[in-house]
Amino acid sequence: MTELQQVKAISKARDLDEKRHLERRRDTLVLILRHLVDNGYTASYERLSTECNLSLGKVGHSYSSIVDVADNVDLLRVVQEFEEGYEAKYGRRPKITRRLVASVDPEEGAMRPLRRLMAKLEAAPSTASNGQQGLRSAAANGATDAPPLIQLEPITAEDMAAALSVTKPSARLQEDKYRAFSEEYGQSGT
């Protein structure tokens, strides 16, 4: 094989690969369009069909390509067969979707002042007899000079930063939004 023939063969193979890739993209869009129509997402169908210049034959528009999926194919079946093939090959189910941004668990931030309070209460010496805690015993006996049982501190920016540090790393992607919110509305949100 001459050098010119090799270059032509490589070029032809590249063109064939590109054609297959474009057909695969078009087929994927047609599957999505059919899925949208079958599930009642007509506005989304209209928008996507306009953007990709494709239309399903049964819906009927005058776009440059009128196509439809084969009778034995639908998007859910493709996903199901992919999952089954993946599981057969790797012995576990594939993870098709993933959470991009984990939100900060507000309960985690709110629990920090409560944890500080519980640590203080547990560290407080017990002055009551019979094993009861001193603060509870004094309040139960009607003592008016006893300190209040629960005096929570406000949730601070440090509490939320600590909550961010123990949540998934993807939550840190939103750190700028939390800082902007804090700067605009203050730490208490007012």
What length does the chain have? 190
Residue of 127, 113, 100 lying closest to 187 (CA atoms): 113
> Taking 70 as the threshold, does the pLDDT of residue 114 lie above it?
yes
* First-to-final CA distance of the chain: 78
| pLDDT on residue 137 | 53
**pLDDT mean across residues, the chain:** 77
Mean pLDDT over residues 63-85, rounded?
A: 84
What pLDDT is recorded for position 80? 94
Comparing 24-33, 87-96, 131-140, which segment has the lowest mean pLDDT? 131-140
- CA–CA distance from 185 to each of 112, 119, 126, 180, 188 (Å)? 21, 31, 42, 8, 7
Q: Taking the domains of the chain in order of start, what are their residue ranges?
A: 3-90, 106-185
CA-to-CA separations, 182 to 14, 104, 112, 161, in angstroms, rounded: 54, 14, 18, 12
pLDDT in tens, 133-183: 555 555 555 555 555 556 778 888 888 777 777 766 565 677 787 778 778
Quote the DSSP letter at residue 173.
Answer: G
| pLDDT at residue 71, as a whole number | 83
For the entire predicted model, the pTM comes to 0.48
Strands (E), the chain: 54-56, 65-67
